[in-house]
Structure 1
Amino acid sequence: MNANILILVVFIAAMYFIMIRPQQKQQKKRQAMINNVQAGAEVITIGGMHGTIAAVNKEAHTFDLDAEGVILVFELSAIRQVVKEANASVTTEELTGEAPEVNESEADSDDNQETTDAQKSEEK
């Protein structure tokens, strides 16, 4: 009788460590990902939509997804994967799709640098 109870306890413990515990870890990781998502992050939704997060509304648990200029509103739980984290160094070009303006003096100095590099390689 005691052997049967011991087998049952071992079986339940094995089920916990094989099935339940890894699932709980995965849920915590997903919840942390959703809680830390910020505007500018590139995500994939559960429906397969790829885009950049334009805004996050924590109170309503929604986010605005910019998919090539089309803004769509999704629940935060619709995020399947964060492809690229948002960071402070997100450029205007990445968000708007437009190239930033370059001063003529900066462009000239870049051209001069390339010319001098080419001349040095020719001399060798």
Structure 2
Amino acid sequence: MYSTILLQAGGGGMGNFILIPAMLLVIYLFMIRPQMKRAKNEKKFQAEIKKGAKVITTSGIHGKIVDLTDDAVVIETGAGKIKFERSAISMELSKKYLSPVVKK
């Protein structure tokens, strides 16, 4: 009696051993790997920030970089100068982002 119950409960046997690693692979390919790539690109961007660049912070403040240190950035805005951490810089504004190209 117990052997029939075990056989019914076991079902796929080898199929379960293949399914779990396949699910882990899908999770890695679609969730973990893109997030790691995004974090790497963001870290590279923050390291390459230059003085005079127009940027947007993560809180949405637009400004121009006036001074740089190893871990901080001073941004000049319409209200004055504000000091931020480098990690607070979200993106750089440039002409290619500001206006779409119109072909005539």
TM-score for the superposition, normalised by structure 2? 0.76
Tell me the CA shift for residue 68 of structure 1.
2.7
SS at 1:48's partner residue? coil
Q: Does 1:16 align with 2:28?
A: yes
Measure, in 2, the Cα distance between the counterparts of 1:78 and 1:69.
Answer: 18
Is 1:74 matched with 2:94? Answer: no
Offset at residue 13 of structure 1 (A)? 0.2
Aligned letter for 1:75? E
Partner of 1:91: none
Give CA-to-partner distance per residue, 1:48-104, whole Å, 9 cap, x none.
Answer: 10000001101xx0000011361110000111111139xxxxxxxxxxxxxxxxxxx
| 1:3 CA drift (Å) | 1.1
**Which stretches of structure 1, 4 residues or longer, exceed 3 Å deviation after superposition?**
none
Aligned residue for 1:23, secondary structure, equals: helix
- Count of aligned positions: 83
- Runs of 5+ in structure 2 lacking a partner? 1-12, 96-104
Structure 1 segments unaligned to the other structure (5+ residues): 86-124
Q: CA deviation at 1:2?
A: 1.6
- Aligned twin of 2:100: none
Identity %: 28
**Is 1:29–2:29 an aligned residue pair?**
no
State yes or no: 1:43 paired with 2:55. yes
TM-score when scaled to structure 1? 0.64
CA–CA distance in 2 between the matches of 1:21 and 1:82? Answer: 24
Q: CA RMSD in A?
A: 1.4
